[in-house]
Structure 1
Amino acid sequence: MALVIPDFYVRRRRPTDLDESYRKAHKGWYPLDMIALVGEVTSSNHETDTGPKLRTYATADVPVYVLIDRHAMKASCHSLPTEGHYTTRTEVDLGRPLPLPEPCPALDTAPFLD
């Protein structure tokens, strides 16, 4: 069991009363099955975002992991987790739209250039 805090996330659905009860009982955390996408923006913990967090999200079967790598000036989308690894990866230069799996629209990465 690992506890990670993404920089941003997208839920699959609106929370139910049961989900809200879970969140209250677990200090603000929603059940994992509610999460459609998590994202990280690299900072001083660059190694954590590109290694342990990537593997943890894949192991937890989070469907999509978006990484904004300000060191490399790249944005990547990892999807289709299988046995602790993401099987697909799409990468673009920061400033270009990052395609995401359906039903999500492409992510505008231009704001991350600042």
Structure 2
Amino acid sequence: MQHDGYGYVIPDATLIPAELDLLLDAEPWMPSEGVAMVMEVTSSKPDRDRVAKRHCHARAGIPLYLLVDRSKSTITLFSEPAGEDYVGNTTTPFGKPLPLPAPFSFDLETADFL
């Protein structure tokens, strides 16, 4: 996904409503319009996932950013992008469900994350 002149970000997962057919014949890099949620799992550079990528996804206007933080044993859903960051966030420890809003509308079970 290209982010308004800030370069490219490769999320660990990108969720797009199937009815949009955005991935059919898509280029390796695609605009963020239509993306419902991106997900990152912290790696050897966790601050990049916690801060830098979060800001990139917010700038791109991606409605939901799900961060699986392995070192903190938490999962955080960031919502309501506004400029450089997200206004809303909900964090839950591994083992507890995390409610996902529409268009998903289900509780993400995290027991297997332990």
| Same fold flag (TM > 0.5) | yes
In the alignment, structure 2 segments of 5+ residues that lack a partner are 1-5
Mapped pair 1:10 → 2:15: yes
3-state SS of paired residue (2:53)? helix
**TM-score normalised by L of structure 1:** 0.83
Over the matched positions of the two proteins, sequence identity in percent amounts to: 36
Unaligned segments of structure 1, at least 5 residues? none
Compute the TM-score of the two structures, normalised by the length of structure 2. 0.83
- The list of structure 1 runs, each at least 4 consecutive aligned residues, that deviate by more than 3 angstroms after superposition, is 13-16, 18-21
CA distance in 2, matches of 1:111, 1:69: 14
Residue aligning to 2:110: 109
Query: Are residues 13 and 30 of structure 1, via their aligned partners in 2, closer, same or farther at CA, if it must alter by over 3 Å?
Result: farther
| Cα distance in 2, alignment partners of residues 111 and 45 from structure 1 | 23
Length, aligned pairs only: 108
**Residue in structure 2 matched with residue 47 of structure 1 by the alignment:** 47
